Structure 1
Amino acid sequence: MTTSLSTSAPPTTHHPLSFTQQFLRLFDQGDGQGPFSARYNIVVGWRVRGRLDVETLHRAINEVAAKHDSLNATITRGDGVAHQTIQPPSPARLLVVDLPRAAQEYRGRKAEELLTEIESGSYSLQELPHLRAVLGRFDDEDAVLALIVHHTAGDGWSMQLLIRDIVTCYARLRGHDVPEQPVARPYHEYAAWQQENAGSKAAVAARGYWREKLRGARMLSVRTDHARSEGLGKVCPVYRFTLTKELSEEALAFAKRNRSSPFMVLLAAYNVLLQRLTGATDLVVPAITSGRGQPEFHETVGPFFNFLPLRTDLTGCETFRQVVDRTRGTCVEAYAREIPFLQIAAESPELMAEAALDDRALCALQVWQFATVMEGERIGDLAVEEVRGRLFSQPNGTDIPDGALLTFDIDPSGEIYGNFAYNSNLFTESSIMSMVAELSGILRYGVAAPDSPME
């Protein structure tokens, strides 16, 4: 299905890459694997209720895709100076499929199965725009809308902006009186701002902090089940799990009582796990942050995520509360001085040394707690709610460039869901499951008896 674009095409222009895009070049393995491959995507789905006009939906998707430059940019990389080129807008793909008829109580499972199938697919980085959509219809008034964006062009925050803009644009095209959305600054302006800000007084001070903070440090890596030199084929399975409702509530309540964010408490438990796995007490854990520190770019679609090395010394910590206190101090200091990882790494050249070892890999941590902008809200004809709390593991998901990534998703209901995505050429599922089981035990004991000696 193709519709004409209402936005005039901008001239083709070259722009520098952002620091996030440059960071991804560290893991570049060519177009077949890694962050520039057809498998490095982010997929998010929403249940859409209300009678849906497919033609109008496609027009709305095209209009939204046309206004965000990151979705229409090609990236040139290699030996020379890498850059991104903004191309004239082109129609986005929308695939419409009829889902098997199912009773209402089973449709959540079917929606998850659709997202799993989409995540196992490939979507060429060369095909623009970097936004694609799949509409799975249960019936005329109940559907699943999945958006697919290449991770070099967007992030989790971007997906929330896109669904809001698409549904709002759809309502406007259907004749509803809806508020105008805030004007989004182009992503290439953010990349330029980063370059200009790199020499600011604040950035220089932050680099000095990281230089001292990471003196003699190595990013913590864990022993893998398979060495890279074995040359095994790589896929990226996802092991999904759920903390019990009771444990989720206790962990969130503990965080509130101790003036900590949920991320700090979860990182503290992860620190204890990594200490047990490696025997180290000086822990430098790679954490994925939103990188959205500049309010003027909060409406911008693009990859802002950052790789922040959080160094915590657990020497002398005997209780979980002490670990949380140390971890909180680490986070407060680091967040106040956050700069792009490439600038941090330049101040600590040996930081990634262990991550390059044949039988070691990084296991990064991220916690999603973004405000969901479309949580059952009705705009015009449609009510939209994100598909959250996915429960089923899958044999192959979107690409993890190297190592493993543990993600916690804090649902608005207060439940905490987790998924552990990993490279199958490095880790086995049994090892990943064992890590999750031990981490859950650490958290359960820690929040229940925070002042008792840790086992």
Structure 2
Amino acid sequence: MTIGNPAGRQTSRIPFSANQEFTFMFDEGDADGQFGPRNHLVHGWRVHGRIDVDVLRAALDDLVERHEMLRTSIVLGDDERYQKVLPPGSPELTVRDLPAAPAAREERAEELLIDIESRTLDIDVVPHLRAVFARFTADDGVLVLQVHHSIADGWSMRLMARDLVTLYSARRAGLPIPERPRQYREYVLTQRETLSQDDAGEARKYWRDKLRDAEVFALPTDRPESTTAPKLTSIHRHLITADVVAGIRELARRTRTTPFMVCLSALEIAFSRMSGRTDVVVPTFTPGRDDGRFDETVGTFFNFLPLRTDIANCRTFREVLMRTRQTCVESYAYDIPFVQIFEEAPDLMNPAGDENAALCVFQFFPFPYVLDGERIGDLSLAEIRRRLVSQPVGCDVPDGILWTLNLHPDGDLIGHLQFRRNRFDDATATRLEREFTRILTRGVSCPDDPIPAA
């Protein structure tokens, strides 16, 4: 089966990256899989400044020419899988008017994002990019980019927004288009050469020892995998207030940890109570862009990293945090492609095969490093991050939960708990979030008090 329009001149076959091989592990082989139409990313930005729609359309064409992955087809055969780069083409751009009073514009922008997230994006349509520009007024609007997740990651989305505005401004000013960055196919070939040399012996030994007899934690589900309920993903959004975040930051400062480690410690306690086990493996994602050479490249780089912490005999939140710190420092130092980790710990993912349980992946993001109100040319963009409206249908996740915490400039943490609603009830997601928040709040306020029983 070919995924992507095969028409036009094509490059030679490009193998999958380690990340794409990891993604293929979770593919369900149908419309609900990782290459299905609901596995997409949607990001939005408030735009201040007058937009010339014709120039925006041309800049989108430039963006597709600049980043090959936006025009790369993916081929899944019975015996092989690979990808091909196609010639540049024009992505879909929808322009609409979205009249709203200034006080209502944030709400209207979020409604727009929810609407787009609930839709599908077929990967057989190339370019793999869809854009929507909605105007509140002539100089105030919302730009939304939608890309299939097998083509790009969250880092890539912000690169694309920045590059799009840069290309737009260059066209408006009659300036040269910026030089193209390294392409994803270069990364793939570089990575495969590195993996073929297999010089990760020390890292492999670390993971072999660290994950000996370990299994990733899996949450009990409300319904078995064999249920006939539609495989849709819901999003439960929640807020961790600025006073709690201030406590997180202060505890992280005093313990030489990070806000992520503090939050992970609270989740470990919650999972330990749920499972009755003190040995907890919580998976997360790392950026996967190790040496900086491909920081400007659009593609899927994120790496699945299992974090194993044994909290046995920990009496206080601080003691849990110290063990979590050790786990994170070691594990991030030996961050290698998960396909290599899995080779050293083949039983790690066994719980994922339990039809009455599902994985929960946890990740933490600071505010994005680009487009935080920066001005490029005569436009200013700011990413829409403060999103608190839950929704019944959103961008897909594999069969389980993806829990993301975003640190907002206002000092809050914005939580997005994405869960497969064929496996979990809304009430289960709410209970999990509230238990985590309760443990976290108490832990940062009283880190040296005995951890109470559940």
Output the TM-score relative to the length of structure 1: 0.95
In structure 2, what is the Cα distance between the partners aligned to 1:160 and 1:200?
33
Does structure 1 retain, via aligned residues, the 8 Å contact 2:19–2:301? yes
1:102 to 67, 90, 100: 100
SS at match of 2:112: helix
How far off is 1:344 after superposition?
0.7
Q: Which residue of 1 aligns with 2:451?
A: 454
Does structure 2 retain, via aligned residues, the 8 Å contact 1:76–1:83? yes
Q: Which residue of 2 aligns with 1:204?
A: 201
In structure 2, what is the Cα distance between the partners aligned to 1:92 and 1:232?
34
In structure 2, what is the Cα distance between the partners aligned to 1:301 and 1:147?
14
Paired letter, 1:435: L
Q: Which residue of 1 aligns with 2:219?
A: 222
Q: Which residue of 1 aligns with 2:119?
A: 121
Q: Which residue of 1 aligns with 2:210?
A: 213
Output the TM-score relative to the length of structure 2: 0.95
How far off is 1:253 after superposition?
2.1
Q: Which residue of 2 aligns with 1:164?
A: 162
Q: Which residue of 2 aligns with 1:434?
A: 431
How far off is 1:30 after superposition?
2.5
Does structure 2 retain, via aligned residues, the 8 Å contact 1:48–1:382? yes
In structure 2, what is the Cα distance between the partners aligned to 1:235 and 1:109?
24
SS at match of 2:262: helix
Equivalences for 1:402-413 in 2 at 5 Å? 402-413=399-410
In structure 2, what is the Cα distance between the partners aligned to 1:149 and 1:256?
37
SS at match of 2:332: helix
In structure 2, what is the Cα distance between the partners aligned to 1:82 and 1:211?
28
Paired letter, 1:156: G
Does structure 1 retain, via aligned residues, the 8 Å contact 2:66–2:180? no
Q: Which residue of 2 aligns with 1:69?
A: 68
SS at match of 1:196: helix
Paired letter, 1:377: E
2:368 to 347, 366, 371: 371
How far off is 1:202 after superposition?
4.3
Does structure 2 retain, via aligned residues, the 8 Å contact 1:13–1:87? no
In structure 2, what is the Cα distance between the partners aligned to 1:355 and 1:270?
19
Q: Which residue of 2 aligns with 1:92?
A: 91
Q: Which residue of 2 aligns with 1:53?
A: 52
Distance 1:318 1:181, change over 3 A: farther
Q: Which residue of 1 aligns with 2:133?
A: 135
Paired letter, 2:145: L
In structure 2, what is the Cα distance between the partners aligned to 1:55 and 1:256?
49
Paired letter, 1:90: G
Bigger CA drift: 243-252 or 423-432?
243-252
- Cα deviation, 1:45-98, whole Å, max 9, x if unaligned, reads 000011110110111111011111111111112321211111111111101111
Bigger CA drift: 346-355 or 115-124?
346-355
Distance 1:435 1:405, change over 3 A: same
How far off is 1:177 after superposition?
5.8
- Cα deviation, 1:376-414, whole Å, max 9, x if unaligned, reads 111112111111110100000011121011100012333
Q: Verify: 1:443 aligned to 2:440, yes or no.
A: yes
In structure 1, what is the Cα distance between the partners aligned to 2:103 and 2:242?
20
Does structure 2 retain, via aligned residues, the 8 Å contact 1:157–1:370? no
Distance 1:206 1:182, change over 3 A: farther
In structure 2, what is the Cα distance between the partners aligned to 1:40 and 1:47?
24
Equivalences for 1:39-438 in 2 at 5 Å? 39-99=38-98, 101-175=99-173, 181=178, 183-200=180-197, 202-369=199-366, 371-438=368-435
SS at match of 1:190: helix
- Cα deviation, 1:167-224, whole Å, max 9, x if unaligned, reads 011111111669x756421101111111111144642221121111111111111111
Does structure 1 retain, via aligned residues, the 8 Å contact 2:109–2:142? yes
How far off is 1:13 after superposition?
2.3
**How many residues are aligned here?**
445
In structure 2, what is the Cα distance between the partners aligned to 1:380 and 1:229?
53
In structure 2, what is the Cα distance between the partners aligned to 1:37 and 1:134?
21
Q: Which residue of 2 aligns with 1:3?
A: none
Distance 1:13 1:67, change over 3 A: farther
Paired letter, 2:317: F
Q: Which residue of 2 aligns with 1:6?
A: none
In structure 2, what is the Cα distance between the partners aligned to 1:331 and 1:266?
12
Does structure 1 retain, via aligned residues, the 8 Å contact 2:367–2:408? no
Unaligned runs of 5+ residues in structure 2 are 1-7
How far off is 1:294 after superposition?
2.3
How far off is 1:135 after superposition?
0.7
Q: Which residue of 2 aligns with 1:4?
A: none
SS at match of 2:217: coil
Q: Which residue of 2 aligns with 1:20?
A: 19
Bigger CA drift: 109-118 or 181-190?
181-190
SS at match of 2:268: helix
In structure 1, what is the Cα distance between the partners aligned to 2:97 and 2:419?
32
- Cα deviation, 1:268-299, whole Å, max 9, x if unaligned, reads 11111111111111111111221121210111
In structure 1, what is the Cα distance between the partners aligned to 2:107 and 2:434?
24
In structure 2, what is the Cα distance between the partners aligned to 1:324 and 1:182?
45
- Cα deviation, 1:252-277, whole Å, max 9, x if unaligned, reads 22212211111111111111111111
SS at match of 1:436: helix
Unaligned runs of 5+ residues in structure 1 are 1-8
Paired letter, 2:163: D
Q: Verify: 1:38 aligned to 2:37, yes or no.
A: yes
Paired letter, 2:244: L
In structure 2, what is the Cα distance between the partners aligned to 1:415 and 1:230?
37
Bigger CA drift: 75-84 or 194-203?
194-203
Paired letter, 2:167: C
In structure 1, what is the Cα distance between the partners aligned to 2:193 and 2:201?
12
Bigger CA drift: 255-264 or 429-438?
255-264
In structure 2, what is the Cα distance between the partners aligned to 1:226 and 1:358?
8
- Cα deviation, 1:22-52, whole Å, max 9, x if unaligned, reads 1111111224112100110011000001111
Paired letter, 2:212: R
Paired letter, 2:356: D
- Cα deviation, 1:213-237, whole Å, max 9, x if unaligned, reads 1111111111111111233222100
Does structure 1 retain, via aligned residues, the 8 Å contact 2:309–2:327? yes
